[in-house]
Structure 1
Amino acid sequence: MTHRVGYAPGVYDLFHVGHLNILRHARSRCDYLVAGVVSDEMARQAKGRSPVVPLTERLEIVRSIRFVDAAFVETVPDKLETWRQVRFDVIFKGDDWRGTEKGEKLERDFAGVGVEVVYFPYTVHTSSTLLRRALDGLVESA
């Protein structure tokens, strides 16, 4: 019997139902789920701004989700380097990556080491970006 390890990376800032859905769906497709929580520095590099919720708190929230077996702090942008550290069989991403340059690179890189890339529906009506805009609006009007 094969033990299938899954990896679900994300910033997981302003944790919301979209995050929960990805983790729930990911866990249903593997035997052991590792959530990769992107460091504050990596989030700044990727998104141009720091997360609202600090890494230690995001890590604690994600570790507490029943679908997650382990949480890993992602500190390098190269997903293959992360794979060398975690050794997963499948990586889960939102389908907003499908068909993009970064998604195609991910697929090429992981095909070389036998890792499957699985996309899940992106939660369009709720995102950390939308929540952050709402918070910014509240602060500006206060």
Structure 2
Amino acid sequence: MSQRTVITFGTFDVFHVGHVRVLQRAAELGDRLVVGVSSDALNFAKKGRSPVFNEDERLEIISSLRVVDGVFLEESLEKKRDYIIEQQADVLVMGDDWAGKFDWVKDVCDVVYLPRTPSVSTTGLIEHIAGMS
């Protein structure tokens, strides 16, 4: 019997409990969890700022989690389908803030949108910390 592989993506900058919870819930949907961590360049293109922790540090953080079986660097949003196929993923998991935006890959895998953890956001944490200085 083949393993059910789950894939998800994120920046995972300023790692927090919301990240832990989404990764745990994603892992429960299969036998193997693979995580694409946004490159520094992709993060800058998406958010207009560099991440607090660089891509090597973020890859190390995510790969150290017991629910994560593999990590890779996501360098392009347009390559989601390629990443899914390369990782032989059966399920794509994204936060519900992306609801409907990845339905275009349903021909190669199932797509599940999980609710985000209320009251926690990386951007909010960064703004809070910046305001403290």
* Equivalent residue, structure 2, for 1:5: 5
Q: Distance in 2 between matches of 1:118 and 1:49?
A: 28
Aligned sequence identity (%): 40
Letter in 1 for 2:43: A
Letter in 2 for 1:51: P
Moved over 6 A (4+): none
Match of 1:44 in 2: 44
- Which segments of 5 or more consecutive residues in structure 1 lack a partner in the other structure? none
Distance 1:130 1:56 in 2: 23
Which residue of the other structure, out of 94, 116, 127, is the alignment partner of 1:133? 127
- Choose the corresponding residue for 1:117, options 92, 111, 121: 111
Mapped partners of 2:50, 2:131: distance in 1: 17
* Letter paired with 2:106: A
RMSD: 1.2
TM-score, reference length from structure 1:
0.88
Letter in 1 for 2:91: V
- Other structure's SS at 1:44 match: helix
Q: Does the 8 A contact of 1:76 with 1:82 survive in 2?
A: no
Unaligned runs of at least 5 residues, structure 2: none
* Equivalence for 1:90: 91
For residue 117 of structure 1, give the secondary structure of its aligned residue in structure 2.
Answer: strand
Cα shift readout 1:58-115 (whole Å, capped 9, x = no counterpart): 111100111001111111212112223322111111111114xxx1xx112x1222x1
Alpha-carbon deviation of 1:126?
0.9
Q: TM-score, normalised by structure 2?
A: 0.93
- The structure with the larger Rg is 1
